Every structure is written in structure tokens, then in C-alpha cells.
Amino acid sequence: MDPDALRPEVETWVRDGIITESQAETILERYEDDGGGRSRAVLALSAVGAALVFIGVALFLATNWNDLPTAAQVAVLVAAPGSAYAGGAVAYRRTLPRIGLACSLLGSVLVGPSLFLLADLAAVESEIARTGLLFVWTAVSLSSGHALDSRAGVGIGFVVLVALVADLAGSADPVPAVALLGVVLFALANRQDDPVAWTYRTGGAVLVLSGLLFVTTLEGRYGRFDVDPTPILVATASASLAGIGWLGRQGDRHDGAWAATAVIAVAVATGLAALAPDQLPGLAAFIGSHAVTLAAVGATGYVGYRRGSRRLIDLAALAALGQTLSFVASTIVDSLSGSVALVVAGLILLGAGVVLERGRRRLLARLER
């Protein structure tokens, strides 16, 4: 059976509550293993081909850019993303969706560098212009991902969106705003169709957990963590609270509980890091940030179990391992001598890995029942 033809049906079954997300992944993986070798090979070759084209063009331009007249430079910058999108459209019309997707994603990636180089040719150097170009790149990449119904395309858009939020944060630390953006994306997953919803939910959880894990690594460096009530921070905080309210009105208790836990964890971790070490002992901030991060990790694993999502469970296990590494690095490694610290830290991480893997397998086994 063709996995591309099966996927829309499986996604419909998930939306209708017939099967869980974990069961859907198992079904698709089975048929991809049986008959999807050709599709995977085509996708791999298409991705490699697109990457080689990108690298080749980049190397050529880097070598000969200054020798090209301005008109030729403009023509190259306009043609690069345009030809990639055109190639993708032709491939889709000829029923070559894998090649079409690879070309279209290449076009989405090339839009940003082309815009910034065009601005450089026009001698546009203001901060507002740079922010505007990031906004345009975000809009194009997200629109492309949604139009293609592509997880990878939407993921590229999220990467650019994070860069836009970081730019809008200015001199303040962008971590709180980016983490709260993750809550917004997680809430928006309930307004999307599969498979894009998966990217929103997983991407949102990744941003929240990454932000919290970053705060846990600030031991001894809290003075560098600068938090100001910037407009982007206020906007993402307000949007995250609105997302919690919307999830509550939709009756989605599990997603709403995760979003509320994430917002509280980000707020508490940010507050502790901002107060330390002048108004709050560093040890208290360290313990508090790890406690709220652990709560967010546990909430991610729980919502993954309730939704039947293997990916969220795997993400929670990976985040827990990352938090263990952060804790060990800030305590044992800093307090013991080099060789002893490495041995003790290695044993702790091995033990944590075993425990986490056993817990993960138990959850996945319960999902299959």
C-alpha cells in the first residue's frame, strides 16, 4: 500500500478518535517499511540534490560575487528562490511530490538570504528594515509550509519565527519570549489539521522545554540574564494566557493543563533568574528553576500519554536527560576534581538514562494496549 495514499486516511482516523497518534505512527511506519523504500529513497535523493544545488550556488556566488555587476547580482538573488519554487511547482504538476517538496523547501530557505542581500545592495541597514525582512521571511516560510501541508516546511517557518522574536527582544534576553511563544504554538495546534498540528504541538513543547533548560544552566551567571518588559515579551505572555483560555473553552483539559503548567514554569524560572543573585540566593534560584523545569517535563510526558503521542513522550524523556546533565554539570562536576567528577557524572547519567528508558517503554507499552 502506498504510504502517501494511506496517510490522509490515518490522520482522519486520529481526528475521529478511532486510533491514537501512537497507533497512527505505528501503522504508517509498518507500511513505509514494507513498501516505502522507493519513496524514502526518492525523498533522500531529492533532499541531497537540493542541498548540493544550494551549496554549489553559494560557493559560486561567494567566489565570484564581487565580480558580478549589480544588475546580475539582483537577477541572481531574485531568480534563486523563484526558480526553486518554480521547480517545485513543475514537479508537483508532474506527480513528483517528493522532488516538488524538496525544491519548494529550498525556495523557502533561500528567500531570507536573498532578501538580506538585496537590502545590502540597496544600502538598507536600519534595525527596523532588518526586522521587516525577518517578518517577510517568516510569512513566506510559514505560508509555504501550510500550503504544502509539510511538517518540515512549517518547521522552517518556526525557526525563522524564533529569530524574529529574538530580534524583537532587542537587548533583553529572548529566552522568556521564545518559551512563551512555544505555549502559543502548542495552543494553536488545536486549530490546525494533521500533519501540521503535530509540528505546532511538538515545536511548541520544544521551545518551552529548551527555554527552561537554558535557565537551569545559568548557575553562577545570573547577572547576565537581563529581563525587561519588552513589547514582544508582553505580547507572547498575553497570547499564551489567551491560548490557555481558549483551550479551556474548547474543553481540552489535558492540553490546557500543559499550557498552564508551562506558563507558570516559564514565569517562575524567569523571575528566579532575574532576582538572583542580588535579591535572591543563587542556590534558591537554582533549585527553583530545576523544580519548575521538572514539572514542565512531567507535564509533557503526561500530555503525551493522554494524547497517545509517542513523540511527546520521547521529547519528555530527552528533556529529562538534558535536565539531569545540567544538574550534574552545575553540582558534581563543579565540586569534584576532574577525573572523579567525570566518573561520578557518567555513572549518574547512565543510571538516569536507564530509568528514563524503562519509564518511556512502560508508557509506550500502555499506549499499545
Question: What pLDDT was estimated at residue 307?
Answer: 83
Q: Is 244 exposed, middle or buried (0-12, 13-18, 19+ CB in 10 A)?
A: buried
CB 153 within 8 A of CB 144: yes
Q: Which residues, including other chains, have CB under 8 Å from residue 240's CB and lie 6 or more apart? A: 180, 181, 183, 184, 187, 259, 262, 263
Using CA atoms, how far apart are residues 19 and 9, in angstroms rounded to an integer?
11
The closest alpha carbon to 334, from 269, 284, 286, belongs to 286
Question: What pLDDT was estimated at residue 38?
Answer: 46
- For the entire predicted model, the pTM comes to 0.82
- Residue 65: pLDDT band (50, 70, 90) is confident
Q: Is the pLDDT of residue 335 over 80?
A: no
N residues, the chain: 369
CB 190 within 8 A of CB 245: no
Q: What is the dihedral of CA 147, 152, 155, 159, to 10 degrees?
A: -110
Using CA atoms, how far apart are residues 56 and 79, in angstroms rounded to an integer?
15
Q: Is the pLDDT of residue 36 over 50?
A: no
User: Distances in Å between the alpha carbon of 269 and those of 166, 212, 222?
Assistant: 18, 7, 11
- What does the pLDDT look like over 72-88, one tens digit per residue? 889 988 988 999 899 99
Mean pLDDT of the chain: 84
* Bigger pLDDT: 333 vs 167: 167
Range with the poorest average pLDDT among 207-216, 281-290, 307-316: 307-316
Using CA atoms, how far apart are residues 267 and 199, in angstroms rounded to an integer?
24
Question: What pLDDT was estimated at residue 223?
Answer: 81
Q: Is the pLDDT of residue 68 over 70?
A: yes
The closest alpha carbon to 138, from 181, 186, 197, belongs to 181
Q: Is the pLDDT of residue 197 over 80?
A: yes
CA of residue 139 relative to chain centroid, distance = 17
- Residue 245: pLDDT band (50, 70, 90) is very high
Question: What pLDDT was estimated at residue 242?
Answer: 96
User: Of the ranges 20-24, 61-65, 141-145, 251-255, which is most confident?
Assistant: 141-145
Burial readout 170-195 (b: 16 or more C-beta within 10 A, e: otherwise) = eebbbbbbbbbbbbbbbbbbbebebb
Range with the poorest average pLDDT among 15-29, 94-108, 149-163, 317-331: 15-29
Percent share of the chain, pLDDT over 70: 85
Question: What pLDDT was estimated at residue 353?
Answer: 75
